[in-house]
Structure formats: C-alpha cells, structure tokens
Structure 1
Amino acid sequence: MKKLILIRHGKSSWELNVRDHDRVLLERGINDAHLIGNHLKNSFKNPDQIWSSTAARALQTATIVSEYIDYNLDSFQLKRELYTFDSYELIDHIKTCSNEINTLMIFSHNHGLTDSANILGSQYFDNIPTTGVVIIEFNTDSWSQIKKGQTIAYLFPKNLR
C-alpha cells in the first residue's frame, strides 16, 4: 500500500518584481501553512519522505509544515522536477519514488497538482486551493505501478479556519 500526500504551496505574491521561481509566501500563505501543519500533526501518520519543488513558495510551505509533523529533515529532498505545472511530468516523477517509501509527501504547483489529484484519485476537484492537501492511497507496493487510487482525505485551509 502506497500513500501520496499532495500539497499545493501557500498563497504567494505576484506584486514583487522577481522571477516566478523566486516568489515568496504572503502572510496568508504562512498562516495557512501553520494551520495545515498543525492539523496534519494531529490527524495523519508522518510521511516517510518529503519532496518539495525548488520554488521559494513551495520550499517555505514545506519547511513550515514539516516543523509540525516532526519530520527528520535529513531525508527532505528539493527537486527541480517538481517545479512543474504539468500533471504528467509530476506523475512521472512520483513514479520514480523508491519502493522503500510507503508515504510520500509532495509540495508542488497548480495546475499540475490539481490535475494529478484528479487523474490519480477517486474524487474530482475543480481546483486545489493554495496550501490545499489531497491524500490518495494506492493498492500497490510499487510506485512505478500507481494508477487510480482512493482519495482518503483532503484539507483546505478555509475549512479549518
């Protein structure tokens, strides 16, 4: 059994004159990351592995959430491949995960994240909001073999406020 935790980065600013990759979280994004992290701490088993996009907003979100879930940052991985907006690229990269990992948490970007959740999960989402979480279980022991799984939970900050 494999479990995938997809998390969209927190709310970021378009107002700063920086590259898209360098955009940072707004105060709301920071607050929502704390809210989600605190909820995950009390509700779910910690992941075996965390991967984050190298974009500043995704890394900030991952750092905040990981503080709450008591994750050993020695095995935290930054992955440029997760700085994608394409679901097929995202899914292809997920399928490269080591089979020793049973629960994988990923911090990435839309539209690839929402589309991936819809392709892989059993529940449809029009849009996963910033700092939104979707958790999908797969009845397989091999990440390379994941197909349609069961959406077992989702968390959106507006539902936790």
Structure 2
Amino acid sequence: MKRLILVRHGKSSWKHNLPDDKRPLKKRGERDGLLVAKSFSSFFQKPVTVWSSPAVRALSTANIFKSELAIEDKHFNIITSLYTFDSGDLYSQIKNCDPGIDKLMVFGHNPAMTNLVNKLGDSYVDNVPTTGLTVIDFETNSWENLKNGKTILSLFPKNLR
C-alpha cells in the first residue's frame, strides 16, 4: 500500500514586490499551517518522506509541519522541480518515488494540487485551498501506476477554525 499526502502551501503575501518563488507566508498562512498540522498530528504515522517545492511559501509551510510532526531532517527533501503548477509534471515526479517509501508527503502549488487530488482520489474538490491537506491511499506496491486511490482525509483550514 502507498499513501500520498498532498499539501498546498499556506496563504502567501503579495505585500512586497518579489519574484513569485520568493513570496513569504502571510500571518494567516502561518496560523493555518499550525492549525492543519496540529489537526493532522492525531492521524499522522511515521515514517514519512517529505518533498517540498523550494518556493518560500511552500517550504515555510513544510517546515511548520516538520516541526509540529517531529519529522527528521533525513526524511525532509527540497526538490527544485516541485516548483510547478502542472499536475502532469507533479504526477511524473511522484511516479519516480523510490518504491521502498510507503508514505510520501508533498508540499506544492495549485492548480497542480487540486488537479492531482481529483485525478488520483475518489472525492472531487473544486479547489484545494491554501494549507489544504488531502490523504489518498493506493492498493499498490509501486508509485509508478497510481490509480483508483481512496481519499481518506481532507483537512481544510476553514473547516478547522
């Protein structure tokens, strides 16, 4: 069995004139990250491998989860190619995950996250909101042929406030 945990980055700030990948989290993004991570902690099981986009807003969100869930550095990876908005690109990277890894948590961007949640899971969502988390389980031993996933959890900040 494989478990895929997809997390969209927290709410980012447009306050400063910065390149897109340098935009930081707003205070709300930080609060929502902590809120979702704390809610997820009762469901969370180790070991998990974490992949994060290098964009400041995604990496900051991933670091909130890393701290709250006590994820070790050796399981935490920043992957440049995860700075993508295309679900096909994101899916291609996930398919190349080491088959020895059973739980993969990915921090990235929309619309890739929403499209992938809808492609792989069995519950449709109009939009994965900022700091939205979705867990999808697959009855397979390989990341290469993910299909017919079962969406077992969706945590969205507005439902937790």
| TM superposition score normalised by structure 1 | 0.97
The RMSD of aligned alpha carbons is: 0.9
Aligned counterparts of 1:7 and 1:73: Cα–Cα separation in 2: 18
> Take 1:12 and 1:122, find their aligned partners in 2: how far apart are those partners?
29
Overall identity of the aligned pairs, in %? 47
Q: State the Cα deviation string for residues 57-77 of structure 1 (Å, max 9, x = none).
A: 000000001111111112211
Q: Unpaired segments of 5 or more residues in structure 1?
A: none
Q: Which residue of 2 aligns with 1:44?
A: 44
Deviations along 1:82-106, one digit per CA (max 9) or x if unpaired, are: 1100001000100011011100000
2: distance between equivalents of 1:95 and 1:77?
Answer: 16
In 1, the alpha carbon distance for the partners of 2:73 and 2:154 equals: 24
Count of equivalent residues? 161
How many Å separate the matches in 2 of 1:105 and 1:47?
11
Report runs of 4+ in structure 1 exceeding 6 Å deviation. Answer: none
> Within 5 Å, which residues of 2 pair with 1:109-148?
109-148=109-148
Q: For each residue in 1:86-139, what CA deviation from the matched residue of structure 2 results, as whole angstroms up to 9, or x when unmatched?
A: 001000100011011100000000001000000010010100000000100011
- In structure 1, what is the equivalent of residue 81 of structure 2? 81
Measured after TM superposition, the shift of residue 16 of structure 1 is 1.2
Using a 3 Å threshold, how does the CA distance of structure 1 residues 47 and 110 change in structure 2: closer, same or farther?
Answer: farther
Give the TM-score normalised by the residue count of structure 2.
Answer: 0.97
